[in-house]
Amino acid sequence: FSTEPQFEDEPIKAAEETKPKPQDKSRSQEKPKRSYGLGRNQEAKEWLNKGKALDSVNYRLVIEYLNQAIELDPFLEEAYIERGKANAGFSNYQQAIEDFNEAIKLNSKSFEGFRGRAIAYSETGNPQQAIIDFSSAIELEPVNYPELYYLRGKAHESLGNRADSEEDIKAANVLRILNAESSGSDKL
């Protein structure tokens, strides 16, 4: 039995032949078990990797694969993060926020969760919540992502917080320079 998505152009006859008998339970109808053993977790990670490997313009298929991963292992933080990114790429920011919320529930120190949710909040016109989440992400990764300071500065700017905005944009510029110098010295 394949859990690959079915496409409309497949023959109807094939669908009828694979239709489960009334007494049969297909895997898609089974409820997730309480115990998530290595088999389900491994299969969930395979679906996660399939979703990550797809071309990012095919967000619907990416989301289908990640839904499968989450169904198999609802505790797989990375699947929620990747699905949140796909939903954001699909401009479905509210669903992206919900996915990042789940990632943060699973891991209160989820840098990717806070970063993704902050960006989604920015896109939905909620700069106050974006600032809170950018701050959480910056606290977890204070030097490697200067764009977070810049984006937080833009959120401050949209609220009229000029001093905070200027401070964040200055910090972003300093970090860009320091990171560029650091990566240049690594090559020596």
pLDDT tens figures, 32-72? 444 445 588 888 888 878 877 776 667 888 899 999 999 99
Taking CB atoms within 8 Å and a gap of at least 24, the contacts of 97-106 are 97/121, 97/124, 103/77, 103/78, 106/75, 106/77, 106/80
Q: Nearest CA to 72 among 113, 103, 31?
A: 31
Say what the pTM is. Answer: 0.73
pLDDT tens figures, 160-170? 999 999 999 99
Amino acid at 20: P
The CA radius of gyration of the chain, in Å to the nearest whole number, is 21
Compute the distance between CA of residue 50 and CA of residue 72 in angstroms, rounded to an integer: 14
The predicted pLDDT at position 43 comes to 84
The predicted pLDDT at position 103 comes to 98
Compute the distance between CA of residue 107 and CA of residue 137 in angstroms, rounded to an integer: 13
Q: Nearest CA to 63 among 44, 41, 80, 43?
A: 80
Compute the distance between CA of residue 9 and CA of residue 166 in angstroms, rounded to an integer: 55
The predicted pLDDT at position 27 comes to 34
The predicted pLDDT at position 57 comes to 65
The predicted pLDDT at position 42 comes to 87
Compute the distance between CA of residue 72 and CA of residue 153 in angstroms, rounded to an integer: 39
Structure tokens at 26: 């297909």
Main-chain phi, psi angles of 163, to 5 degrees:
-65, -45
pLDDT tens, the chain, 188 aa long: 334 443 333 333 333 333 333 333 333 333 344 444 558 888 888 887 887 777 666 788 889 999 999 999 999 999 999 999 999 998 999 999 999 999 999 999 999 999 999 999 999 999 999 999 999 999 999 999 999 999 999 999 999 999 999 999 999 999 999 999 887 754 44
